[in-house]
Chains A and B, each alone.
Chain A
């Protein structure tokens, strides 16, 4: 007889006048992986925060092992064996891996406050070993890739011997190998009777590891299903409340003449002898493992990073770019993978963010013309279907999908010739994803050239006309869409022959 560790009944939660949870039910049994699905803004993260006491609830009941509970802070939940791996990393970059692993739970000699450093380092290695990775426990966490940082976070949660593990988008920054290792760990935890709540936008993962799936939509509980009795399309339909049709919109290849030619550019330590070109109206997909140098290549082309040697031509003319401002003048836009860190000024409004790349356009003699600014922002928000209370909402309070739309809006405003999109749909809900794909297709039909870096192979295959595969800083392969498949790309990305 399976037993529920967590039972949630009729949870309601409002922020001000906005009701974000409208009576949600959920339960978690021992030894199961239970997926919590829904578009961004559906209330998944809020439900977790209500459960663990970060937000108080307005009504409803939470039972832990049959006992009614109300946590007022996450520490209490932790005491009851509920560990959470949040989407935002809680790693302190200046501390070492081992120090991060034991942050707040340091091993000491009795009550002296003297640390058992050696033991903690040893245990750090052990915990990480369970995940199949080795990271030097003395290394500063800030020097690690986001993927490795995520592994530390996961290892830390597992180390608490929790009975319930809540994972919010744990694989967003992991390589396939790391994901594989994580799934193995999840499997062994399951066998030990740990209940796992799993939040992810990656459908394939869900069907690979989850036993049951609960779908939320607009704060409402839709349904709970056994994973074996449903399929991807049905879940997507439940999430969006309508049939989405094809995951990727039909794409008509509309190539024109070559726009950008890159020849033999290098940046020691990041990439070397990179050559490729992009034509007007083309989408060039750029695949590769995390850390292969894809982002660095594009940042170099955009003037945000230095490179050596080689030659870059735009429309046949040599391109000299020293600063992103030069790139923008030439009609090149870059949508960064690090939306919050480099893409947006989070404490500013949608209007201010969208205007930032368009200041020359909305000003006259350096004085901002309010009306022009307003018109631009209204037009972009409408075109991109940004869901917000209005142009004056601060972007920090928007959902991931809407934040990404604001970033895209910044760059549509400059009417780019070439748009570089780095992981354009990471952390973006399915509905917004499709809208972004449509915008990309629309842009190319006007003759805009697009370079799209993506770690999601279905996306690369679904959207690209040609695919450039980067392996350890070098061009691993350049494939046409009709000749490319997942195996070929992975082969080239991992350096296979």
Chain B
């Protein structure tokens, strides 16, 4: 275990140094950046992308990809909002929303495994389907008039011990998922399938089943992100989560996880999500136009990947 962890730390070392550099530069350029308020703000903004990216890490570790996460976020968010608006018990509505997300993910997994469709194609299709269903369900308009229950408000807007609740959710998910990936047979199977699926099957691993679970997990995490977003905005937007899959994939790649599967870890993904979040926030503070922000973000991703290539070459 020790050797391997060391290797993983090295893999992410570049990203961590990068994150530190960005933080140092931004804190010099902007007085507000390192204030406690702003740090918590950044973390809250990061939490949504991070939750999706955690799921994406599992998917990519198996050698797959999930482009439908943004649409799952929107549909699950809209469904939850709809249930709340019709007066359903908030706890129940949130639970059903999470299950709906998991089912959407399971649908992805079934098409990929039983239908033998490449993950890119399968989730490209379901991305469009789920987005379409969101538009049908919401009639293209935001869902408003949600419950003012303490529980639901808490999810997106609340604080616990001074920490935004979404950040706590992100932290809890992180700890649970790291445990699953590192300490359980399920995690071991995820890595093995990404490393060599044929060998895994011949070793008695039901790779189809593992993959369906992985896509379901990603669906549920995307739904959780959608519910947080809905709570924060106090409404569900039909175009919510648009292109979120790209930020999630970027976070995973920045974290050193190999797109061909079998190699990577969640700490890296968290660092990757933080880099993206800190950049967004810092560039906003510096009043950089949102057009330029995209250029900078893309440039950082490219730089990180190029440095990674150099290191492994």
Contact B192 A345 (CB under 8 A): yes
Q: How extensive is the interface on chain B, given as a class?
A: 20 to 34
Query: Among B89-97, B197-205, B238-246, which stretch is in contact with chain A?
Result: B197-205
A 308-348 binary contact with B (CB < 8 Å = 1; else 0):
00000000000000011101110000101000011111111
Contact A368 B195 (CB under 8 A): no
Report the bound CA distance from A352 to B205 in whole Å. 14
Other-chain residue from A302, A325, A341, A356 in contact with B188 (beta carbon distance below 8 A): A356
Given contacts A356-B188, A392-B3, whether A324 and B203 have CB atoms under 8 Å apart is: yes
Contact A352 B196 (CB under 8 A): no
B105 to chain A, nearest CB (A): 20
Report the bound CA distance from A348 to B205 in whole Å. 16
Contact A368 B184 (CB under 8 A): yes
Report the bound CA distance from A440 to B199 in whole Å. 22
Contact A363 B185 (CB under 8 A): yes
Other-chain residue from A304, A342, A349, A359 in contact with B189 (beta carbon distance below 8 A): A359
- Kindly list chain B residues whose C-beta atoms are within 8 Å of the C-beta of A366: 184-186
A394 to chain B, nearest CB (A): 9
Report the bound CA distance from A10 to B199 in whole Å. 41
Any A CB within 8 A of the CB of B141: no
- Kindly list chain A residues whose C-beta atoms are within 8 Å of the C-beta of B114: none
- Kindly list chain B residues whose C-beta atoms are within 8 Å of the C-beta of A349: 3-4
Contact A342 B192 (CB under 8 A): no
B 161-201 binary contact with A (CB < 8 Å = 1; else 0):
00000000000000000000001111011011001101111
Contact A343 B199 (CB under 8 A): yes
Q: Which residue of B lies closest to A411 (CB)?
A: B203
Any A CB within 8 A of the CB of B44: no
Any A CB within 8 A of the CB of B17: no
Contact B204 A324 (CB under 8 A): yes
Report the bound CA distance from A15 to B198 in whole Å. 31
Given contacts A345-B262, A352-B192, A356-B192, whether A324 and B202 have CB atoms under 8 Å apart is: yes
Report the bound CA distance from A368 to B188 in whole Å. 9
- Kindly list chain B residues whose C-beta atoms are within 8 Å of the C-beta of A355: 188
Contact A325 B204 (CB under 8 A): yes
Interface centre among A336, A345, A410 (most CB of B within 10 A): A345
Contact A348 B191 (CB under 8 A): yes
Any A CB within 8 A of the CB of B311: no
Report the bound CA distance from A323 to B113 in whole Å. 15
Contact B195 A347 (CB under 8 A): yes
Report the bound CA distance from A119 to B94 in whole Å. 68
Report the bound CA distance from A345 to B203 in whole Å. 10
- Kindly list chain B residues whose C-beta atoms are within 8 Å of the C-beta of A341: 196, 198-199
Q: Which residues of A contact B (CB under 8 A)?
A: 302, 304, 323-325, 327-329, 334, 336, 341-349, 352, 355-357, 359-360, 363, 366-368, 370, 392, 410
Considering the complex of A and B, which 8 residue pairs feature the smallest CB-CB distances, nearest first? Answer: A345-B195, A328-B204, A325-B204, A392-B3, A359-B185, A342-B198, A345-B196, A356-B203
